[in-house]
């Protein structure tokens, strides 16, 4: 999403400046173009050379070096920016921008830009709560600029309170949000993710290799695109995406009950979870002991409900998207599931392929629509696959 985007980072002087180096490194890995302007105070903390090395582009700070440039630097930087991030944003820099003061290269460029500004404030908690600082922030918000809320905790000065600059991941999330089209605004999307676990006894269970990555990526992208999201997830170690209503479940029956609660009211159901098809007929209340007379343990499995098939029969206007995880005969089995479960389309993945399926950051999918037309895609990140699926959902919603 940030690929080839021109991000202008204004760095003012605060101890949180060290986090901005990590931020730039991550933005470069996402193929964003990063320009950096440093204030004089920022250069007291870290040298421009460090920023220049991370950003792989010239760092700007010298207002009066302009005479040597062919280009009017502050105007070209201002025009080039797709978005401006001020991080760390000190009370001083926020105050100058809010009050139209342009006394250094950063504030001059910001006066000349029409790009949206995102501020990541970082300062002592008393400074942050100061009514003058708050008033300056309100002024900028009214002009359409955005503030990424600082965290609270022990600050560098030893005080405890609000003022810690937002985490790098949080800042990247806000940058992503800025660029994403909000084509799912007003839509309610229910996503199932991860494995389910079926208990054998209090200490043992059967499950599968699903990590939840595919489903959580879908939830993340849905949120960015403006949807209201319920994420129903089997056990997963992943961080819950911000902004979702999170419903943790354990067994396939739990998952079915959770979907039941939200289904009637949703516009879209995405079944990316890998629910167990079977469960032990009897789950022992106590730990099953090794019996020295027996060399084997026999467990009888019974079928779990097929959640997708159940809601496929029940659906009215909802768009239902399924997945098919196969190890062989991918297209044949996926098409069968598409019809039997009444999906609007199905995302087939061959989980034996390298870079596809369980617990990978990438996936290789073929999407088959209700007319059984299919499109095969190359290897992509799970975020990209999620966006592909959401693009198709938006088309289907537009048609209905
Ligand atoms: O979580 P990750 O590690 O990122 O891995 C991603 C994934 C491989 C789990 C994902 O890409 C995927 O393929 N999910 C579907 C897994 C699966 O259960 O496939 P299936 O072919 O067995 O089931 C077909 C469809 O029916 C699926 O939409 C499934 O959610 C649904 N189903 C299956 C069984 C069941 N009892 N109830 C269901 O609703």
Question: Where are the alpha helices (H) located in the chain, listed in sequence order?
Answer: 17-29, 40-45, 48-55, 73-80, 91-98, 105-112, 125-129, 131-142, 168-179, 213-224, 252-263, 307-314, 330-340, 382-399
Question: In a mutational test of the pocket of ligand 1, which residue from 213, 220, 231, 274 has the highest number of ligand atoms less than 8 Å from its CB?
Answer: 274
Instruction: For the chain, list residues with pLDDT below 70.
Output: 65-73
Atom of ligand 1 nearest to the CA of 193: 1
What is the distance, to the nearest Å, from the Cα of residue 357 to the centroid of all Cα atoms in its chain? 19
CA 228 – ligand 1 centroid, Å:
22
Query: What homologous superfamily does CATH list for 188-399?
Result: CoaB-like (3.40.50.10300)
Q: Tell me how far apart the terminal alpha carbons of the chain are, to the nearest angstrom.
A: 28
Give the pLDDT confidence score for residue 52 in this predicted structure: 94
Q: What is the CA radius of gyration of the chain?
A: 26
Give the pLDDT confidence score for residue 71 in this predicted structure: 62
CA 346 – ligand 1 centroid, Å:
11
Give the pLDDT confidence score for residue 156 in this predicted structure: 79
Which residue's C-alpha comes closest to atom 18 of ligand 1?
A: 274
Atom of ligand 1 nearest to the CA of 252: 36
Neighbours of 277 (CB within 10 A): 14
Give the pLDDT confidence score for residue 69 in this predicted structure: 54
Q: How far apart are CA 239 and CA 357, in angstroms?
A: 19
Neighbours of 162 (CB within 10 A): 16
Per-domain residue ranges for the chain? 6-179, 188-399
Query: What homologous superfamily does CATH list for 6-179?
Result: Flavin prenyltransferase-like (3.40.50.1950)
- State pTM to two decimals: 0.81
Contact present, 252 and 304 (Cβ < 8 Å): yes
Q: How far apart are CA 124 and CA 104, in angstroms?
A: 23
Residues with CB under 6 A from ligand 1: 194, 210-214, 252, 271-275, 277, 304, 306-308, 322-325, 337, 341, 349, 351, 357-359
3-state secondary structure (DSSP) of residue 305: coil
| Fold match flag (6-179 vs 188-399) | yes
């Amino acid at each position: 999403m940030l690929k080839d985007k021109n991000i202008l980072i204004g760095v003012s002087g605060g101890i949180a400046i060290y986090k901005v180096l990590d931020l730039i490194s991550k933005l470069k890995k996402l193929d964003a173009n990063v320009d950096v302007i440093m204030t004089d105070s920022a250069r007291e903390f870290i040298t421009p050379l460090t920023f220049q090395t991370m950003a792989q582009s010239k760092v700007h700070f010298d207002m009066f070096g302009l005479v040597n440039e062919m280009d009017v630097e502050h105007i070209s930087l201002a025009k080039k920016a797709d978005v401006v991030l001020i991080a760390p944003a000190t009370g001083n820099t926020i105050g100058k921008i809010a009050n139209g003061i342009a006394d250094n290269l950063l504030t001059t460029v910001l006066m000349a830009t029409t790009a949206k500004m995102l501020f990541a404030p970082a300062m002592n908690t008393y400074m942050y709560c100061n009514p003058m600082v708050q008033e300056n922030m309100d002024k900028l918000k009214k002009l359409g600029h955005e503030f990424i809320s600082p965290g609270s905790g022990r600050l560098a000065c030893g005080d405890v309170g609000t003022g810690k600059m937002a985490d790098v991941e949080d800042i990247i999330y806000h940058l992503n949000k800025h660029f994403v089209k909000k084509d799912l605004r007003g839509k309610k999307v229910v996503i199932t993710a991860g494995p389910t676990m079926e208990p054998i006894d209090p200490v043992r269970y059967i499950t599968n290799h699903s990590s939840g990555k595919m489903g959580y990526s879908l939830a993340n992208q849905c949120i960015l695109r403006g949807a209201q999201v319920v994420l129903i997830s089997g056990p997963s170690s992943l961080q819950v995406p911000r902004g979702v209503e999170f419903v943790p479940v354990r067994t396939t029956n739990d998952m079915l009950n959770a979907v039941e609660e939200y289904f009637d009211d949703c516009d879209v159901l995405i079944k990316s979870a890998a629910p167990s098809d079977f469960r032990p007929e009897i789950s022992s209340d106590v730990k099953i002991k090794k019996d020295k007379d027996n060399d084997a343990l026999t467990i009888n499995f019974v079928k779990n409900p097929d959640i997708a098939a159940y809601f496929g029969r029940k659906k009215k206007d909802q768009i239902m998207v399924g997945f098919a995880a196969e190890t062989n005969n991918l297209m044949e089995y996926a098409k069968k599931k598409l019809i039997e479960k009444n999906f609007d389309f199905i995302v087939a993945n061959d989980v034996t392929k390298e870079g596809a399926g369980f617990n990978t950051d990438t996936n290789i999918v073929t999407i088959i629509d209700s007319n059984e037309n299919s499109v095969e895609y190359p290897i992509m990140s799970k975020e990209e696959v999620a966006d592909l699926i959401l693009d198709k959902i938006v088309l289907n919603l537009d048609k209905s």
